[in-house]
Structure 1
Amino acid sequence: MRSHAYPGVVVTGTGVILPGADRPEAVTAGRGEHAEPVDPTRTLGRGGRPRGLRYKDRATQLAYCAADAALTDAGLLTDGDLTVPSHTVGVVVSSNTGNLDTVVRVVDTLRAGTTDALSPMDLPKVSCNVVASSVAIKYGLRGPNLMICNGTTSGLDAVRWAATMLETGRLTRAVVLGVEPDTAPTRTLLNGAPPLDGAVALVVEDTASATARGARVLARVGGHARGTGIAECVAALSAVNPTPPVAWQVPGRTVPEEVLPGVPRNDLTTAWGPGSGALGVLQCVAAVGAFATGATGAIYATAGDDDHDATAGLVLTPPSDSR
């Protein structure tokens, strides 16, 4: 089990693009009974018809919306223009099924025995990093660009990679996105269950840079752990955060009762359905919402349970925590 503390990384912005939820405080409540699917055209319209959506897959469109919201919330984007040098902002995106519908469509066309029917608009979207690269191009973000697609731990791993790049000086700030679309191939993988069909985002930044530009701090990244099993992961998180957590974002319903007994548990997969690669980022955004509504202690987020090949964990602490 590996763990690492990140004392100099803070969250300065969030973006929530979910059916019936558009702010961190609303994430825990889950999808409303009559919530309409997110319409990226309306979300990005700004009073007119947004450009650049026509040939983009749904995952990319949703990611555009979340990135726009998070960058704006962090004060890094004003009227569509960056307020900081473009090379200081990186992009890390987590999604396991983001472009799956495009891949399936192209494979089905090839399997039919012809290349003539392939769309030239589809071919660039077959690459698994299309969401991250598209966000970077749209907003002119010239820092390091990563797409993480490694299963259930993917979302928290994305936050870890962004924090690591901040700690090592590769970046000053990054937008971290988790996105999973509702498409026919995704539902097939989930045996018909509706996926998240939305995107969430965090802007993480090194403390010195956030202070220098007068940014509002929404949360602090206390540490990360990754290895096999929930119990070991939680123990590793406790090693980098000796104070017991006030809440725990659990990876699902199958969590051992003997781990962190008495700590309130929050299962976002019950609220939103299978989160897959977006779950870890969603958990972090929910923690920001908890701090905004008065939570005063550390919150643990974990993704990947004992039935998977790995478990990842993250500690988030309130803005007032100076550790």
Structure 2
Amino acid sequence: MSAVTIAVSGAAAALPGVSDPRDLLHPAVPGADPVDPAALIGKKGLRFNDRATRLGLHLAYVALTDAGLLAERELTVPGDRIGTVVSSNLGNADTVCRAVGTIAKESTSALSPMDTPNASSNIIASETAIRFGLRGPNLTVCNGRTSGIDAIRWAALMLRAGRADHMVVTGVEPDNEVTRRLIDGPVADGGAALVLSRTATASAKALLGPVVHTRGGARTADALTERAPGARLWLAPDEVPVPDGARRLALGGWGELSGALGVVQCAAAAGWFAEGGAGPVYAVVGGAGAALFPAGGAA
């Protein structure tokens, strides 16, 4: 399975002031307008979706279109060969808390039948699959700080196992009263998405190298350095050691990225290569990390 080349064939980023992966390489813009999914994909079908799901649909639409898998709102390849993995730690917490509050104050009979589906932990991934006709593997990863990189790892595993030809990986978090209470501060209100494909094309944004999981950020950095030496850019928080002379990009300023962080890091790597940057690039968070190479580079 390890011999399969995995390409980043599509990339999307959506945060306040960010509409392209290249924007992630620059500081956040204070006071920028929030992302408006309805302006891109239309209001139809969004009315009863929660904020996280709307943002996820926005990101998947852009990434699928960027990869050439979606044109005129129709898939250009069979949907049963496209799967999706979503990473979100806070995604539908507002819906769940609202439902619990309603039950406590009244009863289950007071719950809205239009709102209760949003309490599913897999709602973002399932709505993405339904809207775009993705009939391949479908799952959600929700395991703290490493969640985004772990979603990349699971998608790569599905591709190497031949379960799909393309996997949409979305990392997204919403900013609302409930999520702010949970993390005691603002949440990023957006995220990023990638399309990973089994074959590299001329239009590929990057190649996915080794994805590792260790017991800590320093060990992860060491493991990536051993398997893919010579990184020019480290997409890593401050606690991860970076060699002298290497550039670090911590991707701060939008609020807590949580489960979206690893996917945002990998989207930023695609933006780095689009700007002509050299590789490999490391994306490291907690005990998980991934190496990405320019399209045509060694992976």
Q: TM class by shorter-chain length?
A: over 0.9
Q: Which residue of 1 aligns with 2:54?
A: 61
1:73 maps to a residue whose letter is D
Q: Once the two structures are superposed, what CA deviation does each residue of 1:275-317 show, in whole Å capped at 9, x if it has no partner?
A: 100000000000001001111220000112xxxxxx1000001
CA shift for structure 1 position 5? 6.3
1:227 maps to a residue whose letter is T
Q: Once the two structures are superposed, what CA deviation does each residue of 1:24-57 show, in whole Å capped at 9, x if it has no partner?
A: 1101213312311111211223xxxx31000000
Mapping 1:1-323, distance limit 5 Å: 8-45=5-42, 50-191=43-184, 193-207=185-199, 210-211=200-201, 216-241=203-228, 243-250=229-236, 252-256=237-241, 259-268=242-251, 270-304=252-286, 311-323=287-299
Task: Tell me the secondary structure at the aligned position of residue 212 of structure 2.
Answer: strand
Percent identity reads: 47
Taking the aligned partners of 1:6 and 1:179, their CA distance within structure 2 comes to: 30
TM-score (normalised: structure 1): 0.89
Shift of the 261–5 alpha-carbon distance from structure 1 to 2, 3 Å rule, reads farther
Q: 1:5–1:240: 8 Å Cα contact kept in structure 2?
A: no
Q: 2:15–2:190: 8 Å Cα contact kept in structure 1?
A: yes
Taking the aligned partners of 1:66 and 1:117, their CA distance within structure 2 comes to: 33
CA shift for structure 1 position 187? 0.2
Taking the aligned partners of 1:115 and 1:36, their CA distance within structure 2 comes to: 37
CA shift for structure 1 position 6? 6.8
1:26 maps to a residue whose letter is D
Aligned length: 299
Q: 2:8–2:196: 8 Å Cα contact kept in structure 1?
A: yes
Task: Tell me the secondary structure at the aligned position of residue 121 of structure 2.
Answer: coil
Structure 2 gap segments, 5+ residues each? none
Q: 2:218–2:240: 8 Å Cα contact kept in structure 1?
A: no
Q: Once the two structures are superposed, what CA deviation does each residue of 1:157-212 show, in whole Å capped at 9, x if it has no partner?
A: 00111111111111101110000001111000121x211101311000012xx44x
Taking the aligned partners of 1:63 and 1:167, their CA distance within structure 2 comes to: 25
Task: Tell me the secondary structure at the aligned position of residue 253 of structure 2.
Answer: helix
Q: Once the two structures are superposed, what CA deviation does each residue of 1:57-114 show, in whole Å capped at 9, x if it has no partner?
A: 0000001111000100110000000000111100000000100000000011112142
1:265 maps to a residue whose letter is R
Task: Tell me the secondary structure at the aligned position of residue 116 of structure 1.
Answer: helix
Taking the aligned partners of 2:148 and 2:94, their CA distance within structure 1 comes to: 20
Q: 1:5–1:223: 8 Å Cα contact kept in structure 2?
A: no
Shift of the 300–9 alpha-carbon distance from structure 1 to 2, 3 Å rule, reads same
Taking the aligned partners of 1:7 and 1:271, their CA distance within structure 2 comes to: 36
CA shift for structure 1 position 216? 1.1
Q: 1:6–1:222: 8 Å Cα contact kept in structure 2?
A: no
Taking the aligned partners of 2:279 and 2:28, their CA distance within structure 1 comes to: 26
Task: Tell me the secondary structure at the aligned position of residue 196 of structure 2.
Answer: strand
Q: 1:6–1:163: 8 Å Cα contact kept in structure 2?
A: no
- Please, what is the CA RMSD of the aligned residues? 1.6
Shift of the 101–6 alpha-carbon distance from structure 1 to 2, 3 Å rule, reads farther
Taking the aligned partners of 1:199 and 1:6, their CA distance within structure 2 comes to: 30
Structure 1 gap segments, 5+ residues each? 305-310
Q: Once the two structures are superposed, what CA deviation does each residue of 1:208-234 show, in whole Å capped at 9, x if it has no partner?
A: xx44xxx51110001111021112111
